[in-house]
Structure 1
Amino acid sequence: MKKIISVFLITFLLLASTSGSLYGSTYDYKDEETLKIMDAVTKYLSIPLEEQKNLQVIDNIYIANSDLKKYKELQSKLLVEWYSGIGVKIEYYDLKVNINSIQNVDDLIKVDLNNIVTFKYMNADFLSGYTDNYILYLNKELLVEKEIYEMDSKAYLLESEINKKVGYNEYISDKIKTLKEKEIRLNNDIADFKNTFAKSKDSNKDSIELFGVIYNAQAAASWALANVYAPEEYDADCTNFVSKAIHAGGIPTDGTWYQGSNAWIRVIELRNWLLNKGYANEYSSYSFAQLGDVIQFKLRSNGLYTHSVIVTGKDNWSEYPYVSAHTSPRYNVLASIYYPDNDIKWSGYRVLDVHGN
C-alpha cells in the first residue's frame, strides 16, 4: 500500500515578484505563501482518495465551517457506502496539483487548479487516472470556503453559469438537497448495480467481423488509452475522442461519419449512425459492455444523451467495465463513476455494443 502526493508548482508562480500582483491580484503572494496554498489545496483534494483507499469517512479539516462542510460530509458518507457496497477500493494513488491562477477576491483567495490523479483499483492489473478542473476559494486561514466543481466541466464556465442563475449559496444548497435524495435510494442503487453483473455476456472481444467489417476492439481500446491525455480538439471533445478510437479499431468512415462531421462529434448522431449502419446493437445494461464498446450517458437536467466514453478495460475479479474519455481526461475508470455513482448529474446510460451478437 502506498500513498504519493506530488505537488507541482508552475515555475512562474515561484518567480513572481513578492511585491507585485499575480494574475491581476492585489494580494501579495510570496513564495512561502504560495507553497502554503499548494499544501492546503492538495490536502483538501486528497481526502476523497484516502476515503476510497480506506473505505472510511475522514473529517476534512481543511474546510471552513460552512454549507460546503455539510455537503462534503454527506458526500463522503455516500462515497464510502457506495464503494463498500459494490466491493471496490483504491489500492494506492498519486495526486498532482497544477495551479492555473491565484487571485485575491474580496476577502478570499481564489485558486483555479487542475487535479491530476493516477491510481490503482484493488484487484485491477492496470492503472487508472483522471484530470479535473476546480476553482477553490480559501479564507485567510487557508481553509476552503467554496468549491466550484462538476465532473467533466470547466470550472470557470460553471462559475459563470452559477453566478448568472442562482448564486453560490443556492447552488451548494441544491447540491446538498440532491445528495439527501441520493442517500434515500443508495441501497437500491448498490443492489441494482451488483445485480447487473449477476449474468454477463460471454464473447470474444479481441477481433470480430460484423456485417463485413473487421472490428479490433483491442486496437480501439489501445488507441484510447494512448491518447487520453492528448490535447482536446473541441470544448466538448468526448464523442470526437470515441469516434477516433473506434475508427482506429477498424470502423470505416463514409459520407456521413468522417472526422469533424456531426455524426463524428455529436453523441446522439454517432449512436444513430452506428445503429443505422448495423455496426452496433444497443443495450441498457453494463453487463453487455465489453472492450471497445461505447457507453453514452443521459444528462439528468434535460433528459438528453450528452456524453460518450469507450470501454478500455475489465478487471480480473468482476465484470465491471472500465472506461476512458475526453472532455475531462478519464483513464480506465469504473463506468459507474458516471452512473449511478454520479446520478446527481446523470440519469441513465446506454451501451452500444459494436461487436454484434
Structure 2
Amino acid sequence: MRHLLQDLFEKRVNQFVSNKRSHKIFFPKAEIKHESAAKRSAEIVKVKALGKIIEESKEDEFQTVKYQAHYQYLIKQNGILYMEEEIEDRIAKFYKKALVMDEEIRPNLEFDPYPQTTITDVEEQDERFSYEYNRLKAVQYAERWWNSYNPAYKKFQNDCTNFISQCLQAGGAPMRGYPKRDAGWWLQYSNWSYSWAVAHSLRLYLSNSRSGLRAKEVRSPDQLIVGDVICYDFEGDGRFNHNTLVTGKDANGMPLVNAHTYNSRMRYWAYEDSSAYTPNIKYKFYSIIDQ
C-alpha cells in the first residue's frame, strides 16, 4: 500500500510544479492553486508531499486507504520566497493496484449548535481591562500549534475557533464574562463561552465588544497586520463558519494565515483553493485593538 501511495504522491506533486506539469490534469486542486497564485503574480516553484496512513482495508481485489497528506508549497512572488503548508485528510481506492478513486474527506463546516443569535455584552462593559496585546506571541503560538493540539486545552471536532481563541489568549487578550455562555469571551475549566469556540459567535463578539478583547472591523485585508483575525462565511448566508489568524504578509502586503480544522500555515487569506470555497463567500476583517 505504501508504494502505491508513494506513486500517487509523485504524480500529484508534478501537477503542481509548472515545468513538470502534464497536459492532463488529474488533480484539480493543482489547477486551482496555480490560478489563484497567478492572480497575485506568484508561482509555485516546488512542492513536497508527505503521506501518513490512518486506516487501510482490503476486500477481494479492492484496497481502501484513509490517509493524511501534508503539502509544503514553496511559493515565489516578486522575487521573494515563502513556504505555505497544508494538511488534507483523504481516501483512496485501488483495484488490482490501479487507482480508481482519490478524494478529500472534507471537514464538517463549523455550525452553531446553540440557540442564541446574538452575543450580549457583560455588565462591566465600561470597565477598561489593562493589557497589551502581544502580536508576536499570538503568532508564535499559531506557528507552534498549527498542525497539532495543545493538551492544556480541550480539542473540538471543529477546532478552528478554539485555536484562534488560544492564539488571542497567548497574545495577552483578557477573558471576561464567566459564567454567562452568551456573554464575553472566556474558557473556564470544562466550560466556555460560545464566542470562545463557535465561529459565528466569535465574529459577533469581535463586532460588539466594548471592553477586554476588542477589535475594529476594517474594509480590506491589506489593512490587517499579524495577530489580526479574518472570519469566513463560505456560503454567503450570513452564518460565519471559519476563522483564521494573520501570521504574515505576502510580497503584495496581503495576509497569510494559520488555521485549524483546515490545518494550514502561511496560507493565502482568500481560501480560493479550499474545498469549502464558493463564489458567494463573504469575509470580515478584524484588527485587534491594542491597549
TM value normalised by structure 1: 0.62
> Is residue 261 of structure 1 aligned with residue 193 of structure 2?
yes
User: Please, which runs of 5 or more residues in structure 1 have no aligned partner?
Assistant: 1-33, 62-71, 155-209
**Partner Cα separation in structure 1 for residue 5 and residue 88 of structure 2:** 16
CA displacement at 1:107 relative to structure 2 = 4.9
Show the counterpart of 2:257: 323
Q: Residue 269 of structure 2: which of 335, 344, 354 is its match? A: 335
Deviates further, 251-260 or 279-288: 279-288
Q: Residue 300 of structure 1: which of 224, 235, 238 is its match? A: 235
Show the counterpart of 1:13: none
Closer, same or farther: CA 104–301 of 1 in aligned 2, 3 Å: farther
Query: What one-letter code is carried by the residue in structure 1 that aligns with 2:54?
Result: N
**Partner Cα separation in structure 2 for residue 88 and residue 341 of structure 1:** 21
**Partner Cα separation in structure 2 for residue 249 and residue 269 of structure 1:** 20
CA displacement at 1:48 relative to structure 2 = 4.1
CA displacement at 1:350 relative to structure 2 = 1.1
Report the structure, 1 or 2, having the larger helix content. Answer: 1
- Give the secondary-structure state (helix, strand or coil) at the position aligned to 2:204: helix
**Partner Cα separation in structure 1 for residue 272 and residue 289 of structure 2:** 23
Show the counterpart of 1:174: none
Contact 2:146–2:258 at 8 Å: present in 1 too? Answer: yes
Contact 2:13–2:48 at 8 Å: present in 1 too? Answer: no
Report the structure, 1 or 2, having the larger strand content. Answer: 2
User: Please, which runs of 5 or more residues in structure 2 have no aligned partner?
Assistant: 110-127, 178-183
Show the counterpart of 1:353: 287
**Partner Cα separation in structure 2 for residue 222 and residue 296 of structure 1:** 20
Q: Percent identity?
A: 21
> Is residue 228 of structure 1 aligned with residue 162 of structure 2?
no
Deviations 1:13-63 (A, max 9, x none): xxxxxxxxxxxxxxxxxxxxx24322233224324432xxx27753458xx
Deviations 1:115-157 (A, max 9, x none): 01223321455432111100112232422x2233155459xxx
- Matched residue count: 254
Show the counterpart of 1:204: none
> Is residue 281 of structure 1 aligned with residue 219 of structure 2?
no
Query: What one-letter code is carried by the residue in structure 1 that aligns with 2:264?
Result: R
> Is residue 58 of structure 1 aligned with residue 44 of structure 2?
no
Contact 1:95–1:116 at 8 Å: present in 2 too? Answer: yes
**Partner Cα separation in structure 1 for residue 81 and residue 132 of structure 2:** 28
CA displacement at 1:345 relative to structure 2 = 7.9
Show the counterpart of 1:243: 165
Deviations 1:65-117 (A, max 9, x none): xxxxxxx4765545433322321122333211111122235653211000012
**Partner Cα separation in structure 2 for residue 55 and residue 321 of structure 1:** 27
Query: What one-letter code is carried by the residue in structure 1 that aligns with 2:140?
Result: S
What is the RMSD computed on CA atoms of the aligned residues?
Answer: 3.1
**Partner Cα separation in structure 2 for residue 299 and residue 49 of structure 1:** 25
Deviates further, 37-46 or 213-222: 37-46
Query: What one-letter code is carried by the residue in structure 2 that aligns with 1:118?
Result: Q
Closer, same or farther: CA 138–295 of 1 in aligned 2, 3 Å: same
**Partner Cα separation in structure 2 for residue 231 and residue 319 of structure 1:** 29
**Partner Cα separation in structure 1 for residue 254 and residue 143 of structure 2:** 17
Show the counterpart of 1:14: none
Contact 1:294–1:308 at 8 Å: present in 2 too? Answer: yes
For CA contacts below 8 A with separation 6 or more, give which structure has more relative contact order.
2
Show the counterpart of 1:112: 66
